[in-house]
Structures are given as structure tokens and as C-alpha cells.
Amino acid sequence: MSKIQSVDLIQLTHNIKAWGRALGFQQVGISDIDLSHHEKFLAQWLEKGYHGSMSYMQSHGMKRARPDELVPGTLRVISVRMNYLPPDASFARHLRQSDVGYISRYALGRDYHKVLRKRLKQLGDKIASALSEMDTTPEYRPFVDSAPVLEHAIAEKAGLGWTGKHSLTLNKEAGSWFFLGELFINLPLPVDSPVEEGCGSCTACITMCPTKAIVAPYTVDARRCISYLTIESDEDIPVELRPLMGNRIYGCDDCQLVCPWNRYADITEEEDFHPRKMLHGQPLLSLFEWSESEFLENTQGSPIRRIGFNKWQRNIAVALGNAQYSEAILAALLEKHGKVNAQVDRHIQWAIEQQTSKRDDKEAVSASNRQQLRLTRVVEKGLPRDA
């Protein structure tokens, strides 16, 4: 590396950012690897058990805050972001349709891990090619949610935005509808400066969270988070949280939907992130009827596939229980009851109880209305009430 002079590094940094934009990243920033400021907060989060059953979070210890322990020799992290907001951005309407399955926006298209990792690898190869003329071979490694990396802390240091109270990265020009990726590299590149925090006194994300998972500003208890419950957790969804999940069957966007900064978010140019018809705005019953082979076929290349068929059915069963009463829904639940995985069956049983209760309440209201109508007619005719 001694052959690379400081002026070369400055020019190389400009080139890296230009190459990154050409590869489809909306922003590229560079940070050093000193994340020691975050170690105390990470330790406290783990000690409180906020990571739930994600044991890998604890097993990696402080490696998440020490990039050079993850990849020895790392001197800088190139942090990138890529927009994923699809053209049909009015997804909030699906939250008002209790019989429609709501899937987090980021998961409606192609698996972002694959898209970003490929582009980051291309960026690393471009850097290596440029340095080969100087007889220098840099070492680099791309990451996209695939290792113990504090991606939001790194993005913050790299000037891509600030960490919002919902713990996601926010950008004044792009909100939070973007993916993050990192390229660890052993070059002493000039670093970018953090941007000013912009949340101020706003607590919209905290107030809006359906399960109150944001237990304090910048602190999320994953055990209550719908994204964790529907994606990461292999356990039964806690009974007390099920009614709060509504029709959310994979992930949750509420804290982003309500964030004022997302009014500035740009539509993605990546067709890979556009919604797949078989996933977007589909009736819960249609999704519930999928066989395992249909699930695998319809989620090929999608991040949804990794949760597996049983968790998919578990999540949908809860949403069906939360839906308004429907004879068709109750019939579908009864049809599958006792014929599926034991965990799924427990959630189906709960959903049957919810639908049955709503049916009984509806019938009771109808009976009451009929009685009231009869009394009204009796009074209008001037007859005794017991006539």
C-alpha cells in the first residue's frame, strides 16, 4: 500500500463513489472502523434480552462493533444505500383491508441480499482493477445482512443518514426506504462526516408501533416487533400480541409509513424490487391455500422463502383470526385444522376461536337489531309491547 500516495487515495475515493452510483447505489459513504461508542449500547441491549431467540446476536459478542475482528486488516468500510420503494407506494390501504395479506414493502420483489451483494462485489472488483496498475491488490469483502455488522452505525459514520428513533437509518432526501450494504476494505481511504440528526422531538414511530416494540427512543425490543415475530422467531407467536398484528403476515412497515421524512423518498429504479403480483395485495385465503410446492415456486428468489412454509402458514392463520368474520375464512380454517404442522395447528385453533367469537357477536347484534325493529313497529302501531 506504500505506493499509494494521499492524492491517489483522494482521487480513488471520488472514483469509488462514481462507480457506486453507476452500479445503482443512490449514495456511497466511507467510515473508519471505530465503533467503540456503540459497544455499551449493544451490550445493554443484549443483557435485556431484546434480541429474543436470535442467539447469534449474543454469540458474536462485540464483534459486531469491531470490523477488524470480523475481517482482519480492515481499515475502512464503504457503506452504500439503494432505494427500494416501488412505484405502487400506497400500500397502507392494504392495512385497512383485513382479508388481504400485508407483506413488508422490502420483501415484495427480489431478495435484496443477492442484488446488493452482487453490486458490492462488482464495486470491489472495480477498485482492485484500478489498483492493479500500481501493482497493489486490495483485500475486500462485501456484506448485506449476512454477518455481525452494525450497518446502521456504519451508515451513520459514513454520512448516509442518522439513526432514527425506530433504529433505522434516515436520510433527509430519501427517508428510510432503502437497503444498506457494506464493503470492508484494507485501504486508508478518506472518511466522510456524519450528518446532523433530524428526528427532533418527533415520536410518531414510537406511538404508531402496533405492539409497542419501540420501548424507548432508539431501542427496539425485538420480542415484541412484528418483523421479528413473523420472520425471525420460530416459536409460537405470543397470544397477547396476535390481535395487534392485524393482517401483517411478513414484516411490518408502520414505523416507516408514519415517518415524516418518508414523504421525500424516491421511487426505486430497480425492477428487481418491484412487487410480484402473486405476493402484492393478495387475499389471505388465496395465500392460505398454497401448497408447500406453490409456496416454494411463488417465493423463488424472494426473501420470504427463508422463513419456510410452516411459518408462512402460522402467520397467515393469525391474520385470518384477526380478519372480520367470514364464513369462507372459518370454513378454510376448519378444513386445515388437524392436518398441518402442530405449531401451525395451534395458531389455526386460535384463529377458529376468534372467527367463531366474531360470528357469535355478529349474530347476537343481528338478533338484538331484529328485536329492536319489532319493538319499534309495535310502538308505531300503538300496541302494547307484549303484543
The pLDDT tens digits for 336-349 are: 999 999 999 999 99
pLDDT at 381: 65
Are the C-beta atoms of 77 and 187 separated by less than 8 Å?
A: no
Dihedral sign, CA of 235, 241, 245, 251?
A: negative
pLDDT at 59: 80
pLDDT at 3: 62
Instruction: Give pLDDT tens digits for 321-370.
Output: 999 999 999 999 999 999 999 999 999 999 999 999 999 998 877 666 76
Measured distance CA(273)–CA(362) in Å, rounded: 41
Q: Per the confidence metrics, is the pTM higher than 0.85?
A: yes
145 is catalytic: yes
pLDDT at 4: 67
pLDDT at 365: 74
Using 50 as the pLDDT threshold, list the residues of the chain that sit under it. 1, 387
Active-site residue, selected from the candidate residues 8, 145, 272, 345: 145
Annotated binding site: 64, 145, 163, 180, 199, 202, 205, 209, 225, 227, 252-253, 255, 259
pLDDT at 86: 87
H/E segment holding residue 77: strand 76-83
**Number of Cβ within a 10 Å radius of residue 334:** 13
pLDDT at 327: 97
